[in-house]
Every structure is written in C-alpha cells, then in structure tokens.
C-alpha cells in the first residue's frame, strides 16, 4: 500500500476561502511541570456536541492556568469522542462555524489540517469504496444564492513517523503535559508498522496537521477530475 500527504496547491483552480472556528474546544494550558504554555492545532471532532455539558462555556479558545481544571474538562468530554484518542490542549469539537466566499471545487484544503468537500464528492468516494469517511456538515455562511453544502471530514489520529527521520538527540516529552516541541522534518518517513489497515484517510497521530491518504483514496479523488484543489505527495515507508 502506498501513502500520500495531502497538500494545498500553489495555484488554485477555485477561489474558495473561509474564516471559521469550531463551536467548542479544549483550552490551551500552562503546564506547571515544564512551564510551557501551548495548544495543539489539527485535532478536531466536529461530530461531538458539547451543548449539554455543564460549564460548556469553558470549552473555548482561551488559556487555562489551572492544569487540574484542564484535566477535569478533558475527562468530562472523553466519553463523547472516539475511543482511544488523546485529547490534546486545543482539541476542537462541534461543526465549523463562520463565513465563506468564492467558488468551491469538490474538495477544499484551505488549512493543511482541515479537509472539506461537497456532499456529492463524499458520496462519490464512498461509492468508490474509500474507507473511514465521516463527513459533518459545516455551518459556513456563503453570501450567495444556492451555496454549496460543505462537509468537514472527521479524521482519526493514526500512525507515526519513523524514528529515522527524527532527531536522535531530541529531549523526551514533558512527563505531565506530554508536549515534545518536535518540528516536522523536511523529509518525512512513515513508520509502516504503525499505519492503519482499515482507513483510507486519517490524521497522522504524531503530527496532527498532516492528513494522509492511501492509494485508494488518491485514485478515488483523482477520478473526480479537475474539480479539486489538492495535491498528493507520496511518502516513503520504513
């Protein structure tokens, strides 16, 4: 099986763009152990509804200085998310809300970690046998008649980079908050043994801003024709 990194194109065919946020999210944290102040980009579960949780207003883009309170908020939402996911500081929940403009092709990768597509494109990929597709309707508002129905793919974190492309002398993650501060290598290599066998598109667990698709996913997208603004970079396995 071949694996590809989804990337935005340099010269887009379509002009679509958006300014948006998810309805809820875990706050960023200040770790009392390493003294780091941080949150993670890329982790998002748009199907998860937090409106019924007590204190749901605390799930917002902000800094939580009390680490014990952050842990309480994280554990309160854990039963609602897919089993086994980590829930880093900054993890987003609920549909994408905001404004959009321009013309939209079948697939949109406006930010490297947010994969949007039209409903008809999702249905085409499903008909082609692509596995792991879960599209959640966005609440993006277009200023035009007959706006497209855009869905955000909820992507599970799976797989890791191989140790050969990572610094051998990197410090260990913080024992409390687990932040490692590792930068993405210029030439990523995927750890073949860690990659999922049941998903054709997923978020790389080690670098959540990287969206990875299998050869099956890439071929299905290409069968849509020129109606997408995304390119695929094949990554080596080891």
Evaluate whether residue 23 is within a structural domain: no
Evaluate whether residue 138 is within a structural domain: no
3-state helix, strand, coil in the chain (%, to 5): 15, 30, 50
How far is the C-alpha of 118 from the C-alpha of 110, rounded, in Å? Answer: 14
Burial string for 20-46 (b: 16+ CB within 10 Å, else e) reads bebbbbbbbbbbeebeeebbbebbbbb
Evaluate whether residue 231 is within a structural domain: yes
Q: Which of 149-153, 177-181, 186-190, 191-195 has the lowest mean pLDDT?
A: 177-181
Write the pLDDT tens digit of every residue in 75-133. 999 999 999 999 999 999 999 999 999 888 899 888 899 999 999 999 999 999 999 99
Whether the CB-CB separation of 95 and 149 falls below 8 Å is answered with no
Write the pLDDT tens digit of every residue in 37-74. 999 999 999 999 999 999 999 999 999 999 999 999 99
Evaluate whether residue 36 is within a structural domain: no
How many distinct structural domains can be found in the chain?
Answer: 1
Evaluate whether residue 161 is within a structural domain: yes
Residue numbers of the domain that contains 206: 3-11+156-235
Q: What is the pTM of this model?
A: 0.95
Write the pLDDT tens digit of every residue in 152-175. 999 999 999 999 999 988 889 999
Evaluate whether residue 164 is within a structural domain: yes
Write the pLDDT tens digit of every residue in 1-35. 999 999 987 777 777 889 999 999 999 999 999 99
Evaluate whether residue 28 is within a structural domain: no
Evaluate whether residue 34 is within a structural domain: no
Other CB atoms within a 10 A radius of the CB of residue 132 amount to 18
Half-sphere exposure of 128 (CA within 13 A, CB side): 19
Mean pLDDT of the chain, nearest integer = 94
Helix intervals (H) in 11-132? 67-77, 119-127
């Amino acid at each position: 099986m071949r694996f590809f990194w989804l990337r935005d194109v340099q010269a887009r065919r379509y002009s679509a763009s958006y300014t948006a946020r998810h309805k809820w999210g875990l706050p960023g944290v200040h770790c009392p152990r390493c003294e780091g102040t941080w949150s993670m980009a890329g982790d998002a579960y748009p199907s998860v509804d937090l409106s019924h949780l007590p204190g749901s207003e605390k799930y917002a883009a902000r800094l939580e200085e009390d680490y014990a309170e952050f842990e309480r908020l994280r554990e309160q939402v854990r039963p609602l998310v897919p089993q086994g996911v980590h829930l880093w500081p900054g993890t987003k929940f609920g549909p994408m809300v905001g404004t959009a403009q321009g013309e939209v092709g079948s697939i949109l990768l406006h930010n490297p970690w947010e994969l949007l597509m039209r409903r008809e494109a999702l249905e085409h990929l499903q008909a082609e046998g692509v596995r792991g597709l879960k599209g959640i309707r966005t609440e993006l508002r277009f200023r035009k008649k007959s706006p497209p129905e855009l869905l955000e793919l909820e992507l599970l974190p799976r797989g890791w980079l191989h140790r050969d492309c990572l610094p051998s002398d990197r410090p260990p993650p913080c024992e409390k908050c687990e932040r490692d501060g590792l930068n993405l290598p210029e030439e990523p290599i995927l750890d073949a043994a860690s990659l999922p066998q049941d998903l054709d598109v997923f978020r790389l667990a080690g670098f959540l801003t990287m969206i990875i698709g299998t050869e099956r996913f890439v071929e299905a997208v290409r069968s849509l024709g020129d109606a997408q603004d995304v390119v695929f970079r094949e990554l080596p396995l080891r």
